[in-house]
Amino acid sequence: MKKSIAIIGGGAGALLLAAHLNSSLYSITIYEKNAAPGRKLLVAGDGGFNLTHSEEVGQFISRYSPSSFIEKSMLSFTNTDLRNWLKSIGIETYIGSSKRVFPLNGIKPIDVLNAILAVLKQNKVIIETQHTWQGWSSEGELILEHNSEQIHVKPDITVFALGGGSWKITGSEGSWLSYFEQKGIKTIPFMPSNCAVQINWNKEFLLKAEGKSIKNIAMKSDTAERKGECVITQFGMEGGAVYALSGAIRKQLRQAEKAIIYMDLKPAFTEEEIRNKLSNRGNKSVTKLLEDNLNLNELQVALLKSMITKEEFTSLELLASKIKNLPITIVGLAPIDEAISTIGGISLSEVDHTFQFKNLKHNYCIGEMLDWDAPTGGYLLQACFSMGYYLAQELNNQT
């Protein structure tokens, strides 16, 4: 007789799991609180659906913290496997100039979601929408709220794939932490990751810069460095280069009221090369010198002026050093709901290498609801997809 599997939550991890479970061994039901599954996938697809990254798998795995938790899943379903699988279901992808992977032009996020849902349909997966999991009954049954009524179910196996704690509008709101705590499972409060940072900009600079991008820079902390670009906002700064430093910034802000990161306005040059270029000054003003000899634009020069003293701006020696390491003081992180991802949730120490709860047998947990971190660039979705695939193989091999 088939065993029953309930998957709670219908996001990225859940969909890949359901697509790869063997439906001749299992009857599979997804319980999703929204009216449709995959809402966060659709949001992730707004403005570029970065499905994964194309870098070599060893390097890929090193992007996660901790990286150990993802290794087996990633090796069982790599970035190349994901691309091949998507191709097999009609979703061609391409590698962009940033080495990130996107659906081919013209393929919309909804097309990707629909292609995956078609696989689920073929795999006889039942999707119960508007079913919100509300914890366990005293008999250990799952409590699901549907149309203001409570339904109790007791599947043979339960997989939780409830997502992280940001972008509540997508359904992933993390209100379930207390249900696990009541079961004695260690949880960690959610915190924003891959999010904007708060900066008290000089008003004059903000007037010139708000909404504009500073391109071809690198952002650095004591533990991380990322090339890319950032956008100046009223709140502070956002963009890939800043998001990549979320972990380091969060760590500093836990210990002090401010965090300091460094912007490298000329990552292609060493400090000495910059000094040499600046030494050829002639009778140019410093601003003209920066524009002509270093190709800095008006915005970059305005940023320098607003962040350093007059003495530093006019001493070419000090200026070269600030161009490579411009200190940016951060006073906070964006509210959790605006973050692209969150850390926190279920402690990784609570699950074994198959993502089964050590103290709650036949119950598993995958995706962003576990406490791990990764930068943007396709690493978030790939982790969830890989965990879903890996768990499917583990469960298929169990029977």
- Applying CB under 6 A, the residues found at the interface with ligand FAD are 8-14, 31-34, 37, 39-41, 43-44, 49-50, 132-133, 161-163, 166-167, 171-172, 176, 340-341, 367-369, 378, 380-381, 384
In angstroms, how far apart are the furthest CA atoms of the chain?
Answer: 87
When the beta carbons of 194 and 221 are compared against ligand FAD, the nearer one is: 194
**Residue 367 CB, nearest approach to ligand FAD (Å):** 2
Interatomic CA distance for residues 204 and 65, integer angstroms? 39
Q: Name which of 167 and 355 has its Cβ closer to ligand FAD.
A: 167
Distance CA(154)–CA(3), nearest Å, equals: 11
Q: Give the bridge partners for 226, in sequence order.
A: 219
Q: Which two three-digit tokens encode residue 66?
A: 């901790």
Question: What are the tokens at 25?
Answer: 């061994």
CB of 34 to ligand FAD, least distance (A): 5
For ligand FAD, give the closer residue by CB, 20 or 39: 39
Q: Which is nearer to ligand FAD, 43 or 348 (CB)?
A: 43
Distances (CA, A) of 232 to 201, 204, 211, 212, 273: 9, 13, 6, 6, 28
Cβ at position 89, least distance to ligand FAD in Å: 18
Least CB distance to ligand FAD at residue 378 (A): 5
In the complex with ligand FAD, the residue whose CB is nearer, 20 or 40, is 40
Burial of 36 (0-12, 13-18, 19+ CB in 10 A): middle
Nearer Cβ to ligand FAD (39/305)? 39
Which is nearer to ligand FAD, 265 or 360 (by Cβ)? 360
Q: Tell me the closest approach of the beta carbon of residue 399 to ligand FAD, in angstroms.
A: 24
Query: Distance between CA 199 and CA 147 in Å, rounded?
Result: 45
Residue ranges of alpha helices (H) inside 295-350 are 298-307, 310-314, 316-324
| Closer Cβ to ligand FAD, 102 or 313, answer by number | 102
Output the smallest distance, CB 225 to ligand FAD, in A: 21
| Closest CB 306 distance from ligand FAD, rounded Å | 29
Which residue of this chain has its Cβ atom nearest to ligand FAD in the complex? Answer: 11
**Strand ranges in the chain using DSSP code E only, listed in sequence order:** 3-8, 26-31, 52-53, 93-95, 100-103, 126-128, 132-136, 142-146, 149-153, 157-160, 187-193, 197-198, 213-220, 225-232, 236-238, 259-264, 326-330, 332-333, 341-346, 363-365
Q: Residue 347: count other Cβ atoms within 10 Å of its Cβ.
A: 14
Question: Strand, helix or coil at 84?
Answer: helix
Q: Residues 6 or more apart from 124 whose CB is under 8 A from it? A: 23, 27, 28
Q: Of the two residues 81 and 264, which places its CB atom closer to ligand FAD in the complex?
A: 81
What tokens appear for 210 in the block?
Answer: 């708000």
Q: Cβ of residue 210: shortest distance to ligand FAD, in angstroms?
A: 21
Least Å distance, CB 106 to ligand FAD, is 18
Supply the angle between the helices 271-279 and 286-294 in degrees, to the nearest 10.
120
